[in-house]
Amino acid sequence: MTDPIENTDLHYREEDWYAEDLGAARFVRCTFTDMDLSEVVTSGATFDQCTFANSRLNASTHRHTAFVACDFQRTSLFDATFEGCKMIGSVFADCTVRPIKVVGGQWRGVTMRGLNLSKLDLAGLDLREADLSMSDLTSTSLVGANLDGANLRETKLAGADLRGASLDRVDLAAAHLRRTHLDLAGAVLLAELQGALVDAEPVRQ
């Protein structure tokens, strides 16, 4: 394959990069179409404004890699691992994203609208301004996650764990909640969104 150290404005099509170690490669405005990227390994790599279409990233491993404003279309990330990665402003459409392993990192402004994200462990993840509308987060762990400004409209949160999550500017009332785990702050926020007046002061007889 082409030397992956520095690539700009290239279109890779129907290539087999199975188990390639891309190291700290840098790709800018590149397109990957019908690519086998299964078990690919990156460490400190950068994908800037890249498109992945009809490709496979199954069982790939990415450490401290940045996917900035990337577009994932009909791509499978089955069993992929992302450790300390930046997924800022990227869009996932018709993708397989479970199971995946996510350890830390920043996924600010990602669009994962309508995806099946159920039973994933997204604890502590930075999901500020993310669009998770109409997605299925049933039994997903979002413990300690930063969801400030996230769109949860019609998101399924049955059995999800939101304890310790930051929920500033989040409309929980627009989500589907059923046996959703909330801490006191989250419960107060939900009550206020539904029109309740929450008074922390005890009633004096």
Q: What is the CATH number of the domain that holds 91?
A: 2.160.20.80
- Structural domain including 97 reads 1-106
In this structure, what token pair is assigned to residue 135? Answer: 């997605």
Mean pLDDT of 180-185: 86
User: Which tokens belong to 25?
Assistant: 């490669």
User: Has residue 140 been placed in a domain?
Assistant: no
* Residue 12 is assigned to a structural domain of this protein: yes
In this predicted model, which residue has the larger pLDDT, 189 or 182? 182
pLDDT tens for residues 75-134?
Answer: 999 999 999 999 999 999 999 999 999 999 999 999 999 999 999 999 999 999 999 999
What 184-188 contacts at long range (C-beta under 8 Å, 24+ apart), as own/partner pairs, is 186/162
Instruction: Tell whether omega for the bond before 99 is within 30 degrees of 0, i.e. cis.
Output: yes
Q: Give the pLDDT confidence score for residue 53 in this predicted structure.
A: 98
Whether residue 205 is predicted with pLDDT greater than 60 in this model: the reply is no
Q: For 18-66, what is each residue's pLDDT tens digit?
A: 999 999 999 999 999 999 999 999 999 999 999 999 999 999 999 999 9
The total number of structural domains in the chain stands at 1
Say if 169 falls within a structural domain.
Answer: no
What is the pLDDT at residue 70? 98
- Is 156 within the bounds of a domain? no
Q: Is residue 68 part of a domain?
A: yes
Tell me if 131 is assigned to some domain: no
Type of residue found at 172: L
- Does residue 129 form part of some domain? no
Residue 71 lies in a domain: yes
